[in-house]
Structure 1
Amino acid sequence: MFLARFIQYIQFEKRYSPHTVSAYQSDLDQFMRFLNTPEETITHPSEITHYLIRNWMVSMMSDEITARSINRKIATLRKYFKFLLQEGIIGHNPASKIIAPKIPKNLPVVVEDAKLMQMLDSDDTFSHDFKGLRDKLVIEALFGTGMRLSELLGVKETDINVYEGTVKVLGKRNKQRIIPINNELKHLVAEYLELKKNQNFDNNSLTLIVTDKGADAYPKLVYLIVQKYLSHISTQNKKSPHVLRHTFATTLLNNGADLNAIKELLGHANLSATQIYTHNSVERLKSIYKQAHPKA
């Protein structure tokens, strides 16, 4: 079915991230398992019709798989069949006729920026040892730059220019961008790096965020740090690093930042991904109106 050839294409020619390649592989494996039953076996991609793809969609809906997940899997198929078409393996793209299910728009979950800043400014929130300073840097960096979890984990000490007040991050599709950092974050980074050096860790990792023993930080560690400290100021169920990214964007928008500037800071490929934050701002205006207007 030319799956290995396609995976090599997105891995080496398109240079997709390992996470994306793994997701494509998983989606295609699931689709092939659906197609090949004891009663019938598909031996060539040209045998796959849009009816079979639609049947797969119906099957996933019956299994209560979310519209967002189904859309991602259909996007994988589109990419796969487009590649086969370019290679002359098939004569048409059966996924081109597929209409993906609509994704319900959920407002980004945020925390109150005032409570977050109060927690960060408090002397009692974080311990004054390496672990406490590391935890504070994680929260400050996510809220102060809006970077993704994967981007934070990839930041090296050399990616931070304390003098210019910037940090270089590697985003999706290996796109680099420069994000400004505020004075408080600059001082925190300098203090953290000095304390990190004095720990005399065995591996001397140049990765910015490390574990208590000096190894490169991993996603679960950052999740636990964020959940721990957001629990001090929020009772909402969702307490993830992405909530701080949403809070960063919403705070900027509420304070008059240009939407295009926010798009660049977040590393979004197009403006439509950034526009979802305008809904949060509208809800905030409605709330203020209801509280302040006598006829509201």
Structure 2
Amino acid sequence: MKYPLDFQSTFEDTMRFWIERYIRFKLTSLSNRQVKDEEQLAAILKSLTIGTKNIDELSKLVRSARNIGLIGVNTYYKPLEKLYRFLDNLGLASMKEIDEELIVDFLSSSTSGLSDATKKNYRIAMINFFAYIDKNNDDKHIYGIELKNWGGLRGKAGQKLPAYLSEEEIKRFLDAIDSYPFRTDVAARNRALIKLIIYTGIRVSEATHLKLKDLLPQEDVYLIKITGKGNKARVVMIKKEKIDHDLQEWLAMRQCEEGLLFCNKKGTPLTQAYISRIVEKILLSCGIRKEKNGAHMLRHTFATLLYNKSKDLVLVQEALGHASLDTSRIYTHFDKERLYKAASIMDKID
């Protein structure tokens, strides 16, 4: 259904209306595999359709959606909430006053100090949101927001090579996992979860939402069923000797809801931010400092090592659950043998 661009009586109400419609659209397209309360989701969608009284009420609805399992919604909503507050202070009279220059002003002032990855998320949120309005406004108004050159970000063309650990750093990190002074009640859980990530390369979100039934013991290994992005399933493997001591200690005290393998003291999933903080503390404890010290770097470390040892890009794609081989191809940039061949191509001519 299409609506007039300036649908409400004030700019603030109209802007909030479009955010509500866009978030409702995104909630119905996100994976609902982790949704715990279908009735609450239906109530949230109904509230978004009816409309909210103010931005705080809308933010509360989004938090509720995230809490019931739609964890990706913040990626779309947070930049728009900040945009709303930014535009609200400008005293605009119409949605037609918004243009790309104004969006660049917002991004420049609101994302300073954020990581490049977060800036990229903001850029994508802006492009997608205004493309949604372009498609659904009855006035046929086209924003055409592209942000091609903002902040030097051009999608993949502006992508940085990921940070990763060298083999020597991996050894130090693994030793530090076992020696780090965790609290007794979470030590086994944290060690098992972090080892699982670095030994298999699974995403942090995949690790935190694993179910106990997904862990399949074999002779000397565990097969682990992973449900990745887009509900795509794959199987990874970890040798029991790498994780079993910590895992069995954790299983003896584990009290998780919904059959979760790992959980906090409330029985609910651990957050990605919590895991990243733990990883950073362990890295700093053994003197390792990278541009990005978070838990996702462990996935890059696994992928880089896997490619350098196997030279098999398809194996990297399958192990990491990449939808496209192009996504895996970035790890060929760390292949020193290939780079040395390129560096030596002029030797005979010299």
TM tier, shorter chain?
0.7 to 0.9
Give yes or no for the alignment of 1:83 onto 2:138.
no
Aligned partner (choices 181, 203, 211) of residue 156 of structure 1: 211
1:217 partner letter: L
1:12 partner letter: T
Report the equivalent of 2:227.
170
Contact 2:201 2:320 in 1 (8 A): yes
Aligned partner (choices 285, 308, 315) of residue 254 of structure 1: 308
Deviation at 1:111, TM superposition (A): 1.6
Aligned-partner Cα distance in 2 for 1:277–1:241: 18
Report the equivalent of 1:60.
107
Deviation at 1:207, TM superposition (A): 1.8
Aligned partner (choices 88, 95, 99) of residue 148 of structure 2: 99
Report the equivalent of 2:170.
116
User: 1:88-125 CA distances to partner (integer Å, 9 max, x unpaired)?
Assistant: 53415313554243335433221223442476479974
Contact 2:223 2:237 in 1 (8 A): yes
In structure 1, list runs of 5 or more residues that go unmatched.
291-296
Deviation at 1:151, TM superposition (A): 1.4
Where 1:40 maps in the other structure, the secondary structure is coil
1:181 partner letter: M
Report the equivalent of 1:6.
22
Deviation at 1:180, TM superposition (A): 1.9
Report the CA distance shift for 1:80/1:231 in structure 2 as closer, same or farther (over 3 A): closer
Deviation at 1:141, TM superposition (A): 0.8
Where 2:165 maps in the other structure, the secondary structure is coil
Aligned-partner Cα distance in 1 for 2:260–2:28: 25
Aligned-partner Cα distance in 2 for 1:23–1:91: 27
Report the equivalent of 1:23.
75
- Calculate the TM-score normalised by the size of structure 2: 0.64
- Calculate the TM-score normalised by the size of structure 1: 0.74
Aligned-partner Cα distance in 2 for 1:231–1:203: 30
Aligned-partner Cα distance in 1 for 2:255–2:71: 29
Identity across matched positions, percent: 23
Aligned-partner Cα distance in 1 for 2:109–2:277: 34
Figure out how many residues of one structure are paired with residues of the other and give that number.
Answer: 280
User: 1:116-136 CA distances to partner (integer Å, 9 max, x unpaired)?
Assistant: 247647997479x87544333
Report the equivalent of 1:139.
194
Report the equivalent of 2:5.
none
Contact 2:100 2:145 in 1 (8 A): no
Aligned partner (choices 321, 326, 333) of residue 267 of structure 1: 321
Report the CA distance shift for 1:113/1:90 in structure 2 as closer, same or farther (over 3 A): farther
Aligned partner (choices 209, 212, 218) of residue 262 of structure 2: 209
**Larger relative contact order (Cα-Cα within 8 Å, sequence gap ≥ 6):** 1
Aligned-partner Cα distance in 2 for 1:213–1:70: 33
Which is worse superposed, 241-250 or 204-213? 204-213
RMSD: 3.9
Where 2:144 maps in the other structure, the secondary structure is helix
Report the equivalent of 1:240.
294
Report the CA distance shift for 1:130/1:176 in structure 2 as closer, same or farther (over 3 A): farther
Contact 2:263 2:270 in 1 (8 A): yes
Report the CA distance shift for 1:39/1:157 in structure 2 as closer, same or farther (over 3 A): closer
Aligned-partner Cα distance in 1 for 2:338–2:265: 40
Aligned partner (choices 257, 276, 280) of residue 223 of structure 1: 276
